[in-house]
Amino acid sequence: MLYRSGVSALHRTGPLTKLALVLLAATMLPIWPAPVLLAAAGLALAAGALCRIGWAMARRLAMLLVPVGLALFVVHGFMLENGPARPLGPLDYYPQGLARALTYFARIALLLTVSLLMVMTTRVNDLARALDQKGLPPAAAYLLTAPLNLVDGIADEAAAIRDSLQVRGLAARSGLRARVRLLGAMLMPLVRGMISEAGTRAEALEARGFRALPHRSLLDPLTETPAEVRLRMGLLLASGAQLLVLAL
Amino acid sequence: MSQPIFSTRVLVLMAIGIALNMALGQLVSLLKLPVFLDSLGTMLVAVLCGPWIGGLTGLVTNLLWGLIQGPTVAFFAPVAAVIGIVAGLLARAGLFRTPIGAAASGAIIAVTLAFIAVPIRIYLFGGVTGSGADFLIAYLTKVGQDLVGSVIVTVITANLADKIVTALLVWGIIRGLPQRTASDWPFLAHSRD
């Protein structure tokens, strides 16, 4: 999980407000030049540092951005013909290609930084609660939270099936063909069992009154200050304005 | 009260499909196999419940994955949705009845997803994503292929084997389902007797 616990202002901000911030960043991409996008990404990283997730964010960003950045500058700067070439030692490079690579890099950097800022300060459960609170049907919250509860169970069950198959002679260190056989032998009972269980799980949910009403009321609703609601509206309006500029 | 679009059973199957998409990657890396299998749950739901539910399963998988693993995955959510939709349409056409049809479905899905993945990859990532496949793009552009062509070839090459293996596994799974379980999923009638 990318979430880092904390008590910062951003941790306390509602998930929907942070989603509006991601939307604002996404609508900036086609409009603003690379320096503006990079400056905005820098601001987002600084906000992360203020929320005490700066190092974790920077590490994650480096992991994601360094390989993409290298690939972008090599492919666009040196390999794809883009305007007139200039010599750089034994190689030729394309200044226009490098400028294009910088634009792509800035777009990715901004979107990743702002998305990470949201993801690292928001629990999936809180997002589900916020959606519930806004009147989305219980099914939406279920689809966001149930898979996370199921993943560990699937991994444990797969490990148990693997162990039992290995006891019977199927080894993961064998050749490719044997490993493909092992994969099939592990997957078939695991997945068939889960499909068969779907009916039982659904009955258990219905027995608890899941979806008995179109909307659920929350025992511990997320609280929002009027300032936060205004901030979210502002972010949405700014996103709308940028889309309008793009359309014109 | 109006009937919900998705029954609770379908909703539970979607959750299972999403969890399978997320969990099987670990299993595959454990066995050191050169496939991802990150759309097995999506294809399975599509074959059991139809194209739109399959598409939604793919979409939610990548959005949720983006929340817990890293936002890059979320940018490709439309691709995951297309995998589910196309798998469902091919299942409706009866292609998941035989292993050859299932393998052909995997190939069709790999080619179709390129139409959605390539524009995202080019507009947002400039054609590269920092993975090993970038070497192929670099090579193809150097031998004279344009960027769009190089990315199309790379995306299809990287996905072809994975989607064919995934489709074959789905065929194997649905073929071995007990009749009692199979009868719970009416859409499955398109893929087995």
**pLDDT tens sequence across A191-238:** 999 999 999 999 998 888 877 777 777 777 788 889 999 999 999 999
Q: Mean of the per-residue pLDDT values for chain A?
A: 88
Measured CA angle at A175 (ends A171, A179), to 5 deg: 55
Instruction: Provide the shortest C-alpha distance from residue A216 to chain B (in Å).
Output: 15
Q: What pLDDT sits at residue A107?
A: 92
Query: Which two tokens mark A77?
Result: 């700067």
Q: What pLDDT sits at residue A192?
A: 92
Q: What pLDDT sits at residue B1?
A: 46
Q: Which residues of B touch A76 (CB under 8 A)?
A: 126
Residues A106 and A146 in one domain: no
Task: Compute the distance between CA of residue A30 and CA of residue A243 in angstroms, rounded to an integer.
Answer: 9
Q: Name the domain count of chain B.
A: 1
Cross-chain CB nearest to A119 (options B7, B13, B71): B71
pLDDT (tens digit per residue) in A137-165:
888 888 988 898 888 888 888 888 878 87
Residues A110 and A26 in one domain: yes
pLDDT (tens digit per residue) in A115-125:
999 989 998 88
Q: Is A88 helix (H, G, I), strand (E, B) or coil?
A: strand
Structural domain contains residue B3: no
Q: What pLDDT sits at residue A169?
A: 74
Structural domain contains residue A182: yes
Region A164-176: mean pLDDT is 74
Q: How confident is the model at residue A173 (pLDDT cuts 50, 70, 90)?
A: low
**Pick from A21-35, A111-125, A177-191, A222-236: least confident:** A177-191
Contact B110, B160 (CB under 8 A): yes
Which residues pair with residue A93 across a beta bridge? Answer: A86
Residues A116 and A13 in one domain: yes
Mutate to test the interface with A, among B31, B64, B136, B174 (most CBs of A within 10 A): B31
Q: What pLDDT sits at residue A224?
A: 85
Q: What pLDDT sits at residue B40?
A: 95
Structural domain contains residue B17: yes
Q: Which parts of B77-146 fold into alpha helices (H)?
A: 77-92, 99-125, 133-142
Q: Name the domain count of chain A.
A: 2
Structural domain contains residue A142: yes
Structural domain contains residue A216: no
Place of tokens 């899941």: A210
Place of tokens 């990287």: B158
Q: Which helix (H) or strand (E) holds A245?
A: helix A226-247
Place of tokens 């949720």: B64
pLDDT (tens digit per residue) in B51-60:
999 999 999 9
Hey, which residues 46-85 in chain B have their CB within 8 Å of chain A? 48, 60-61, 64, 66-72, 74-75
Q: How confident is the model at residue A243 (pLDDT cuts 50, 70, 90)?
A: very high
Cross-chain CB nearest to A151 (options B22, B67, B173): B22
Residues A141 and A106 in one domain: no
Cross-chain CB nearest to A198 (options B9, B70, B127): B9
pLDDT (tens digit per residue) in B132-146:
777 788 788 778 778
Residues A70 and A108 in one domain: yes
Residues A56 and A115 in one domain: yes
Q: What is the ipTM of this complex?
A: 0.86
Q: How confident is the model at residue B66 (pLDDT cuts 50, 70, 90)?
A: confident
Instruction: Provide the shortest C-alpha distance from residue B67 to chain A (in Å).
Output: 5
Asked if A232 is an interface residue toward chain B (Cβ–Cβ < 8 A), one would say: no
Structural domain contains residue A191: yes
Q: Using CA atoms in the order B71, B76, B82, B84, what is the torsion angle rounded to 10 degrees? A: -40
Q: Mean of the per-residue pLDDT values for chain B?
A: 89
Structural domain contains residue B148: yes
- Whether residue B75 is predicted with pLDDT greater than 70 in this model: the reply is yes
- Domain extent, residue B95, equals 8-190
Structural domain contains residue B2: no
Cβ–Cβ gap A147/B8 under 8 Å? no
CATH code for position B38: 1.10.1760.20
Residues A101 and A203 in one domain: no
pLDDT (tens digit per residue) in B76-102:
999 999 999 999 999 999 999 999 999
Contact B9, B185 (CB under 8 A): no
Q: What pLDDT sits at residue B4?
A: 57
Contact pairs from chain A to chain B, CB under 8 Å: 187
Structural domain contains residue A215: no
Asked if A237 is an interface residue toward chain B (Cβ–Cβ < 8 A), one would say: no
Which residues pair with residue A86 across a beta bridge? Answer: A93
Q: Which residues of A touch B178 (CB under 8 A)?
A: 192, 196
Residue of B nearest to A75 (CA): B138
Region B107-118: mean pLDDT is 94
Residues A118 and A150 in one domain: no
Measured CA angle at B77 (ends B168, B71), to 5 deg: 120
State what percent of residues in chain A have pLDDT above 90. Answer: 45
Residues A88 and A156 in one domain: no
Mention every residue, 6+ apart, whose C-beta is less than 8 A from residue B106: B160, B163, B164, B165, B166, B167, B168
Structural domain contains residue B1: no
- Whether residue A105 is predicted with pLDDT greater than 50 in this model: the reply is yes
Structural domain contains residue B78: yes
pTM here is: 0.85
**Pick from A42-46, A99-103, B72-76, B130-134: least confident:** B130-134
Residues A109 and A163 in one domain: no
Residues A113 and A201 in one domain: no
Cβ–Cβ gap A158/B27 under 8 Å? yes
Residues A142 and A116 in one domain: no
Query: Which two tokens mark A239?
Result: 């996103």
- Domain extent, residue A191, equals 137-207
Higher pLDDT, A13 or A158: A13
**Pick from A116-120, A181-185, A196-200, B185-189: least confident:** A181-185
Q: How confident is the model at residue B165 (pLDDT cuts 50, 70, 90)?
A: very high
Cβ–Cβ gap A71/B33 under 8 Å? no
